[in-house]
Amino acid sequence: MGTTVTRGVLLLAGLAAGVYGAVLLLQLDFSRLLSTVVWLAGGVVLHDFVLAPVVVVLGVLLVRVVPDAARRPATVAAVVWGTVTVAALPVLSGQGGKPDNATLLDRPYWTAWLVLTALVLLATVGASLLAARRDHRP
Amino acid sequence: MRLPRVEDFEDRLRVPEVTSRVGSVLGIAFTVCFLTGLWSHWQYGPPGWLTIPTSPAWLYRVTQGTHVLSGTVAIPLLLVKLWSVFPRLFARPVLKPAVPALLHVLERASILVLVASGIFQLVVGLLNTVQWYPWSFSFRSTHYAVAWVMIGALAVHVAVKLPVIRRSFSHRVDADEPAAGSRLSRRGLLRATWVAAGLTFVLSAGQTVPLLRRVSVFGVRSGDGPLGIPINRTAAAAGVPDGSTGDAWQLELSYAGRTVTMDRAALESMPQRTYALPIACVEGWSASGDWTGVPLRDLVESMGAPARSRVFVTSLQTRGAFATSELPEQFVEDERTLLALRLSGEPLTLDHGFPARIIAPNRPGVLQTKWVTRLEVAG
């Protein structure tokens, strides 16, 4: 009973909020609305038909290529490194900022990313070697 | 070649137990992001029932820092969440009977809306933090409208999935999990996800959390700048006319049809106050500075107006949407609201708003008008 009420309230509130947002969107002029729709669709296409399939393929490769002892560390590394990298793409892109404003995007982002990548690699190799030693112990 | 089917994917880790746990944390992040975003939106034109308080001075700094960081941290969570349900994309549609078929279509549509709006909000929001606008819609109105679509679709999704979520949380994540062997376990995947989210937080939070400045190598700002404070928009970018800020600069002060002009020396001869107040940008970075200047209420009272008056502020800037701002009564009355002349004991730099700028407690950075030329007290 409680669950049914909760679901009903969430459903109605969700529909109301969604309709309100749609009404706000429809108040934009046509070219802005078009640009919004392109970006809304673009994100889904980029994820569902580019990023996700690439990750699936990499997952298959990981199973086939990576030795058994390295499998778990490599998977953890891929999850952490991959998602952190995606989150850092805006600052790594080299886009944005203003030429006359030295206080925006004022860190060595690529150096930082290379250091992060090297640390993740080191940790993965280290954990894999430990796992291999443990596996070979009688 | 054929389209993949749901059964083609390994389902050891892609289980509701994992999806529900990552999804719940993601749902919380999205909700926090929505609420803090709504709060930020209201700063520009509060609804009638809301009076934005002037205290605590750091409130907007915290809410907007939280807004941007919850969005940033949502990225690893969203990626893992979508990974865990990716096979469902290939679920074949239910064709009959009519009612389940219709419900199936509606649910898929709601998920499409949720995924599209969720990705959109994170991407567009993050690009805004680096001031990169490769689109032709206006950021604020679109980010606001899509936020309502996103939170609505999220509520519908939770309503639809609530039984699955409850069932998944009723037992441990690894209940009935086959032995993982050398592979990653469900628990391991969850831990990796939390680590990724935590790392994302630590690597960017320094743009607003001073303690993390040194480690936040992906922060959009190191927090450094002239006189110790970063700059959002330079005088050149804002189109402040050459020569308009020199010795000839005068402040116009008007109230009830009377206008008085003051130069910088006259302002400096008035009693000065110094307060530590944050500049908190809508883009999520913030920094606290020691600002010195004339309390706005002193200027207002010198015109014979009550301290509790609204003041319209006009800047010399000729570009950008924030050449004017309106200070509500409570901000004018608060003596910490300054027409600032100095920062860290030094005269303002041009890019910080020289000759004079507004600095008020608990206000978004874009409303802290720089290069002030005119203050108009509402009658």
What CATH number does the domain containing B194 carry?
A: 1.20.950
Of B115, B130, B217, the CB nearest to A97: B130
Say yes or no for a CB contact (<8 Å) between B83 and A10.
no
Regarding whether B17 and B156 lie in a shared domain, the answer is yes
Say yes or no for a CB contact (<8 Å) between A18 and B152.
yes
Q: Is B218 on the interface with A (CB under 8 A)?
A: yes
Say yes or no for a CB contact (<8 Å) between B158 and A88.
no
Regarding whether B248 and B152 lie in a shared domain, the answer is no
Q: Where are the alpha helices (DSSP H) in chain B?
A: 16-44, 59-85, 98-129, 139-169, 186-205, 264-268, 296-302, 329-333
DSSP secondary structure, A72-123, as one string = HHHHHHHHHHHHHHHHHHHHHS---S-TT-TTSS-S-HHHHHHHHHHHHHHH
A86-95, B6-15, B255-264, B306-315: segment of lowest average pLDDT: B6-15
Are B69 and B201 spatial neighbours (Cβ–Cβ below 8 Å)? yes
Within a domain: B34: yes
Q: What number of residues does chain B have?
A: 379
Here the tokens at position B254 are 């008007």
Of B79, B119, B132, the CB nearest to A95: B132
Say yes or no for a CB contact (<8 Å) between B196 and A112.
no
Say yes or no for a CB contact (<8 Å) between B225 and A17.
no
Are B272 and B265 spatial neighbours (Cβ–Cβ below 8 Å)? no
Average pLDDT on B2-18 reads 89
Within a domain: B220: no
What kind and span of H or E run contains B310? none
Distance CA B332, CA B337 (A): 6
Q: What is the 3-state secondary structure (H, E, C) of B23-44?
A: HHHHHHHHHHHHHHHHHHHHHH
Average pLDDT on B203-216 reads 96
- Count of the separate structural domains present in chain B: 2
Regarding whether B205 and B151 lie in a shared domain, the answer is yes
Here the tokens at position B90 are 């290939």
Q: Is B231 on the interface with A (CB under 8 A)?
A: yes
Regarding whether B237 and B198 lie in a shared domain, the answer is no
Mutation site for A-interface testing, chosen from B25, B83, B84, B185 by largest number of A Cβ within 10 Å: B83
Regarding whether B158 and B123 lie in a shared domain, the answer is yes
Query: Between A and B, how many residue pairs show a Cβ–Cβ distance under 8 A?
Result: 241
Quote the mean pLDDT of chain B.
96
Of B76, B141, B188, the CB nearest to A84: B76
Residue B194 corresponds to which amino acid?
W
Q: With a cut of 80, say whether residue B6 has pLDDT above it.
A: yes
The domain of B30 spans: 6-173+185-212
pLDDT at residue A67 in the model: 93
Say yes or no for a CB contact (<8 Å) between B120 and A68.
no
Q: With a cut of 90, say whether residue A1 has pLDDT above it.
A: no
Distance CA B325, CA B315 (A): 9
CA B170 to each of CA B13, B167, B215: distance values in angstroms, whole numbers, following the listed order: 18, 5, 39
CA dihedral B109, B111, B116, B119 (to 10 degrees): 180
Regarding whether B262 and B158 lie in a shared domain, the answer is no
With DSSP H G I counted as helix, E B as strand and the rest as coil, what are the percentages for chain A, rounded to 5? 85, 0, 15
Report chain A residues whose CB lies below 8 A from the CB of B184.
71-72, 75-76
Of B132, B156, B219, the CB nearest to A14: B156
Regarding whether B348 and B258 lie in a shared domain, the answer is yes
Residue pLDDT, tens place only, B240-281: 999 999 999 999 999 999 999 999 999 999 999 999 999 999
Average pLDDT on A18-31 reads 97
- Point out which residues pair with B327 in neighbouring strands: B311
What CATH number does the domain containing B368 carry?
A: 3.90.420.10
pLDDT at residue B306 in the model: 97
Distance CA B107, CA B115 (A): 12
Regarding whether B196 and B338 lie in a shared domain, the answer is no
Regarding whether B334 and B192 lie in a shared domain, the answer is no
Are A21 and B152 spatial neighbours (Cβ–Cβ below 8 Å)? yes
Instruction: Identify the residue whose tokens are 């990653």.
Output: B184
Regarding whether B208 and B65 lie in a shared domain, the answer is yes
Say yes or no for a CB contact (<8 Å) between B200 and A48.
no
pLDDT at residue B379 in the model: 72
Are B229 and B343 spatial neighbours (Cβ–Cβ below 8 Å)? yes
Residue % of chain B over a pLDDT of 90? 91
Average pLDDT on B321-343 reads 96
Q: Is B159 on the interface with A (CB under 8 A)?
A: yes
Q: Complex ipTM, two decimals?
A: 0.96
Regarding whether B150 and B37 lie in a shared domain, the answer is yes
pLDDT at residue B179 in the model: 87
Regarding whether B166 and B105 lie in a shared domain, the answer is yes
Say yes or no for a CB contact (<8 Å) between A28 and B145.
yes
